[in-house]
Each structure stands twice: as structure tokens, then as C-alpha cells.
Structure 1
């Protein structure tokens, strides 16, 4: 089943390689989507197979840049 997930990220993400990290992780799991900076936060939208989206989220939680 193909699903879409939206993730809202707060905190400082500039200068830590956040967007390249998200892109690489999404590519690793065969997901499509986007990452966009808002005035204060970041929004991530991913689409793909349900198992891959869940794997993305778990890996994001464990490995995101601090």
C-alpha cells in the first residue's frame, strides 16, 4: 500500500546537513516527497510503500543530525 506522511520538525536545522540527510534517507527507502524550511521550522512530506515510510521514520528518529 502506498501512503503519505507529513513530519513537522522544530529546532535548528541549518548548517547540520539536515536536508541532505533527509534526501539520502528517503532515497535509501525509495520514497518521494519534499523538505521545506518554514519561517521557524521544517516540514517533510514523504510518499511511498507503507513499510518503507515506517522504516524512514524509525531511521530518522535514531540517526537525525543533532
Structure 2
């Protein structure tokens, strides 16, 4: 894969609250799609209720993404 040889970053100039909302919505969409694959590392997120998924996404945002 080309991605094995390429590393890049993207800077998005947007209000922080908009980025957080985008991240949470993206997490919820993955929960209904890619996370449903039993072989996926993230499969455990598919079993969360919507409220649990939102809280998890918010925690991940605050502890990982917001810091970066």
C-alpha cells in the first residue's frame, strides 16, 4: 500500500467546538458501520448505547485528539 510509505498531516483551521462535533458524529457513523465487523479492533464500540458512544467519543476527543 502507498500508505505504508507516505506520512502526512492535515491542519484544519476551524472552531474547536465544530471539530469536536465532527469527531463525535464520525465516531457514531463508524459505530454503525466499520465497528460492526467482529474482526475490527474497534468492534466493542458497536455494542455501546448511543449515550455511551457519545460519552466515549467525548472522552477520546478530550484525552487524545484535543491535546494534539
After TM superposition, the score normalised by the length of structure 2 is 0.31
Work out which structure has the larger RCO, using CA pairs closer than 8 Å and 6 or more positions apart in sequence.
Answer: 1
Give the structure with the larger helix fraction: 2
Who wins on radius of gyration, i.e. which is larger? 2
Instruction: Give the TM-score taking structure 1 as reference length.
Output: 0.32
Structure in which a larger fraction of residues adopt strand? 1
